[in-house]
Amino acid sequence: MNEPLLTVSGLTVRYGGVVALDDVSLRVPKGAIVGLIGPNGAGKTTMVDALTGFARYTGEVRFAGTRLDGLPAHRRAARGLARTFQSAGIFDDLTVEENILIGERSAARRFSTLRAIFGGRTEKPRAQTRRIIDLLDLGGSLEVPAGELSEGHRKLVSVAQALAGGPQLVLFDEPAAGLDSTESAWLGRQLRAVSESGVTILLVDHDMELVTSVCDELVVLDFGKVIAAGPPRQVLDDPGVVAAYLGSVTTAGDA
Ligand code: ATP
């Protein structure tokens, strides 16, 4: 496996009396797709929030060789760390192209970009963003308002939005939630294409078909602790992982 792009050591997040993450360590190798899974409430979104500067933590996060601890969200994003949100973060009234364009801009410029778009002033995507649009085969729907898209395509637009800033690592928070198994498999193929284009991925999802088919490695959280990590099949056969899920493993559309 390649050298780690992201190294998390002893990360702990507390919400009042709740320890959402408890001394978690993990590595994401450069170029890999690592799946972060676990039962409801295990701490997966909290991990995404902490890494991207949306939740306070103790411990150490190293990204591309430097420590991120103490940096606010926009400075982490500027260093090449992007994320999606469970709610998809898409504006229904804007077209696919306009939604993607918002992702292209730095946090500092996002507001002025939004104002320009809502003011009717069009901006054109950069060449790099055009490549993402082609990669995800969104060229045919650029003028379509996002509110008219299927759930699967909305998720794909949020993937494109996250990629538009040219990140090194993207943290996807449940991109397959609300998708049926066909849409989820299709999304998985798009994520593979994204990975092959050179972007490293941390994928949080409940869809076991998706994570086992696209991930190189899995990390399993339970009650805020890592209980297993390694190749997908090995991890899912781990008795501790089976016990943690207690038969509650969901398939596409259940999450
Ligand atoms: P799910 O699969 O249901 O999305 P998850 O693995 O993403 O769950 P988190 O959302 O990270 O889990 O939650 C981890 C724990 O932290 C849970 O006990 C949750 O109730 C708690 N928690 C999360 N966010 C907050 C918050 N803002 N304030 C207080 N407690 C929180």
pLDDT tens series, the chain, 255 aa: 678 999 999 999 999 999 999 999 999 999 999 999 999 999 999 999 999 999 999 999 999 999 999 999 989 998 999 998 877 678 888 899 988 888 886 555 556 666 666 666 666 767 778 888 888 888 898 899 999 998 888 888 988 988 988 899 999 999 888 888 888 888 899 899 989 989 999 999 989 999 999 999 999 999 999 999 999 999 999 999 998 886 554 444 444
Residue from 14, 15, 40 whose mutation best tests the ligand 1 pocket (most atoms within 8 A of CB):
15
Residue 113 in contact with ligand 1 by CB distance below 6 A: no
Q: Phi and psi for 126 in degrees, rounded to 5?
A: -70, 170
Residue indicated by tokens 């790099």? 128
Q: Is 184 in the pocket of ligand 1 (CB under 6 A)?
A: no
The predicted structure's pLDDT at residue 119: 67
Any ligand 1 atom below 6 A from CB of 24:
no
Name the closest-CA residue to atom 11, ligand 1. Answer: 43
To which H or E segment does residue 63 belong?
A: strand 58-63
The answer to whether the CB of 40 is under 6 A from ligand 1 is yes
**Mutation to probe ligand 1, out of 18, 172, 250 (largest number of atoms < 8 A from CB):** 18
pLDDT for 252: 44
Ligand 1 neighbourhood includes 76 CB (under 6 angstroms): no
Q: Distance between CA atoms of 153 and 16, rounded to whole angstroms?
A: 38
C-alpha closest to that of 69 among 11, 2, 142: 11
CB 103 within 8 A of CB 157: no
Task: Give me the pLDDT at residue 254, please.
Answer: 46
The per-residue pLDDT for 251 is 46
Instruction: Give me the pLDDT at residue 1, please.
Output: 60
b/e sequence 80-96, b meaning 16+ C-beta within 10 Å: bbbbbbeebbbbeebbb
Looking at residue 51, its pLDDT comes to 97
Q: Could you tell me the domains of the chain? A: 1-80+168-255 (3.40.50.300), 87-166 (no CATH)
pTM value? Answer: 0.88
Looking at residue 253, its pLDDT comes to 44
From the CB of 158, is ligand 1 less than 6 Å away?
no
In short, whether 190's Cβ falls inside 6 Å of ligand 1 is no
- Assess whether the C-beta atom of 17 lies below 6 angstroms from ligand 1: no
Q: Which DSSP helix (H) or strand (E) runs through 29? A: strand 18-29
Token pair of 154 as six digits: 């909305």
Residue nearest to atom 16 of ligand 1 (CA): 20
Residue pair 176/255 in contact (Cβ under 8 Å)? The answer is yes
Q: Give, to the nearest 10 degrees, the angle between helix 151-163 and helix 127-135.
A: 150
